[in-house]
């Protein structure tokens, strides 16, 4: 067992009844019943001082050992250990590392709270959780100077999600990327201009990006720096998914805790996420400035095309409540951030700032088409945006796009136009899921036409199966 001290002074050779009694008295979550026949004597290792001594920790060395010739219920050190074990199990059920075998190094659970061990100054700051509102700092009025065709209907954009693969492009990712390039070439021949590519998250599997991720996982598939490529230097407007956080980029969960060589401070706020633009990231390569991610929530207006994109980070619920600190690929990140609670507080603040941004853009924006990019099904908060529109903007057309589910599907329509899109097929998947991307063409009346599932943008499920490689 990885933590045998929890069961001291029992040993592997101890009887089944001894373990059952331990679980019963210790308040184990399995609610183990007391053994049918309570033994008057415990097994030999509980009566033999020499046998007991090898299991007791230093805190018990001054305890008086029981006389092996006297029948007893339990040795006193065992009672103390049992109570500690019971408190630890109760504490683990209530606090940050529920389900884990061990607390991160330097942390203790005293039965009522999880806290840094006494004297550990490096971790003491984790005991205080940041509660200030998260502020999104960026410039949103076409900072990349995207050029558009003066005829609105000659402009379009693509949306893709769940395209990343650890260590390099997978076969489905490459196939979808080739299809994207072919689509763009065909549209160019028809006089159409690609403005941007929106990404709805899970960009770098499995646990976030590092300094080499763009060269290793992004560029070989999409060829955005290759002269003559249909996707060369096309801006990508990015949203974050659950796999964009994790052990490869641990301080993305808690930038205030990041070491100074990783942390970046902008207008008094700490940043440490690897995928952010170079002024907020310590590892972003210089030749990927077209991969646009100025803050965890942001908007991007292209006034010349009468369109606005809003990117939201909606990871709070899934990362904290469904993955948690013991999920594969997240353990080190949660440990470095001090557990679930600091991460939850941070992601909650980020998500609340995204909701506030939606309300702000509803009030202050003026685009006839608004595109909301985020990762999770039915989490784009379209109702929040619509409720915030002033009367003169009530005719605004809103497109919600997300991924997480690895397929391509139109999930909702308004006035005959698909405006709710699942587009998580960028890396393919499995079963009946389709691989592909979404194309959205603007119309001269201020609206748009969406293509999610045609042969031009997607592939039948049997053509491209995703594999965890």
Helix axes 76-94, 16-25, angle to 10 degrees: 60
Q: Which residues contact 84 (CB under 8 A, 6 or more apart)?
A: none
Once rounded to an integer, what is the mean pLDDT over residues 423-442?
91
Place of tokens 């609340």: 352
pLDDT of residue 29 exceeding 50, the answer is: no
More confident residue, 73 or 282: 282
pLDDT tens-place string over residues 309-342: 999 999 998 888 887 777 888 999 999 999 888 9
pLDDT tens-place string over residues 375-384: 999 999 999 9
The pLDDT value recorded for residue 315 is 96
Q: Can you say how many angstroms the Cα of residue 284 is from the centroid of all Cα atoms in its chain?
A: 19
Residues 24, 34 contacting (CB under 8 angstroms): yes
Report d(CA 10, CA 310) in Å as an integer: 59
The pLDDT value recorded for residue 402 is 98
- Residue 149 tokens read as 């065709």
Residues 237, 249 contacting (CB under 8 angstroms): no
The pLDDT value recorded for residue 74 is 47
Size (the chain), residues? 469
Lowest-pLDDT range, 345-354, 423-432, 450-459?
A: 423-432
Question: Quick check: helix, strand or coil at residue 66?
Answer: coil
pLDDT of residue 423 exceeding 90, the answer is: yes
Once rounded to an integer, what is the mean pLDDT over residues 61-65?
44
pLDDT tens-place string over residues 127-178: 444 568 999 999 999 999 999 999 999 999 999 999 988 888 888 999 999 9
Name the residue among 408, 419, 467, 409 with its Cα closest to residue 447: 419
Q: How confident is the model at residue 13 (pLDDT cuts 50, 70, 90)?
A: low
Q: Which residues contact 152 (CB under 8 A, 6 or more apart)?
A: 305, 306, 442, 443, 444, 446
The pLDDT value recorded for residue 54 is 44
More confident residue, 287 or 56: 287
Once rounded to an integer, what is the mean pLDDT over residues 110-124?
57
Q: What percentage of the chain carries pLDDT values higher than 70?
A: 72
Once rounded to an integer, what is the mean pLDDT over residues 90-94?
43
Residues 439, 183 contacting (CB under 8 angstroms): yes
Once rounded to an integer, what is the mean pLDDT over residues 17-35?
61
Sign of the dihedral defined by the CA atoms of residues 399, 402, 407, 412, in that order = negative
Q: How confident is the model at residue 428 (pLDDT cuts 50, 70, 90)?
A: confident
Q: How confident is the model at residue 32 (pLDDT cuts 50, 70, 90)?
A: low
Once rounded to an integer, what is the mean pLDDT over residues 185-206?
97
Q: What percentage of the chain carries pLDDT values higher than 90?
A: 63
């Amino acid at each position: 067992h990885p933590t045998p001290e929890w069961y001291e002074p029992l040993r592997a050779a101890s009887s089944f009844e001894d373990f059952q009694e331990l679980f019963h008295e210790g308040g184990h979550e399995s609610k183990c019943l007391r053994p049918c026949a309570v033994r008057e004597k415990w097994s030999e290792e509980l009566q033999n001082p020499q046998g007991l001594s090898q299991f007791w920790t230093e805190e018990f060395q001054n305890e008086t050992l029981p006389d092996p010739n006297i029948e007893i219920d339990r040795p006193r050190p065992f009672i103390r250990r049992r109570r500690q074990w019971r408190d630890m199990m109760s504490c683990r059920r209530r606090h940050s590392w529920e389900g884990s075998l061990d607390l991160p190094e330097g942390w203790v659970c005293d039965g009522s709270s999880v806290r840094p061990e006494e004297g550990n100054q490096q971790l003491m700051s984790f005991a205080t959780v940041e509660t200030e509102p998260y502020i999104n700092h960026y410039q949103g009025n076409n900072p990349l100077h995207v050029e558009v065709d003066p005829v609105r209907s000659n402009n379009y954009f693509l949306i893709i999600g769940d395209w990343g693969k650890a260590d390099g492009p997978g076969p489905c990712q490459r196939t979808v990327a080739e299809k994207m390039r072919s689509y763009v070439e065909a549209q160019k021949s028809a006089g159409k201009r690609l403005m941007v590519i929106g990404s709805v998250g899970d960009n770098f599997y499995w646990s976030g990006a590092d300094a080499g991720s763009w060269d290793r996982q992004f560029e070989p598939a999409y060829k955005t720096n290759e002269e003559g490529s249909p996707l060369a230097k096309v801006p990508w407007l990015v949203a974050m998914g659950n796999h964009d956080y994790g052990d490869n980029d641990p301080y993305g969960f808690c930038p205030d805790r990041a070491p100074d060589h990783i942390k970046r401070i902008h207008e008094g706020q700490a940043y440490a996420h690897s995928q952010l633009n170079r002024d907020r990231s310590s590892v972003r390569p210089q030749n990927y400035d077209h991969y646009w991610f100025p803050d965890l929530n942001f908007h991007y207006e292209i006034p010349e095309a009468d369109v606005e994109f809003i990117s939201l980070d909606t990871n709070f619920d899934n990362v904290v409540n469904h993955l948690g600190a013991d999920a594969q690929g997240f353990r080190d990140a949660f440990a470095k951030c001090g557990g679930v609670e600091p991460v939850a507080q941070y992601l909650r603040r980020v998500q609340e700032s995204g909701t506030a941004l939606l309300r702000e853009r509803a009030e202050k924006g003026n685009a006839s088409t608004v595109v909301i990019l985020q990762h999770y099904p039915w989490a784009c908060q379209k109702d929040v945006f619509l409720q915030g529109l002033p009367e003169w903007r009530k005719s605004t057309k809103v497109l919600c796009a997300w991924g997480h589910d690895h397929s391509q599907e139109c999930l909702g329509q308004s006035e005959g136009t698909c405006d709710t899109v699942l587009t998580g097929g960028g890396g393919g998947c499995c079963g009946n899921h389709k691989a592909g991307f979404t194309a959205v063409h603007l119309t001269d009346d201020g609206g748009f036409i969406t293509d999610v599932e045609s042969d031009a943008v997607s592939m039948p499920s049997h053509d491209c199966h995703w594999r965890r490689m």
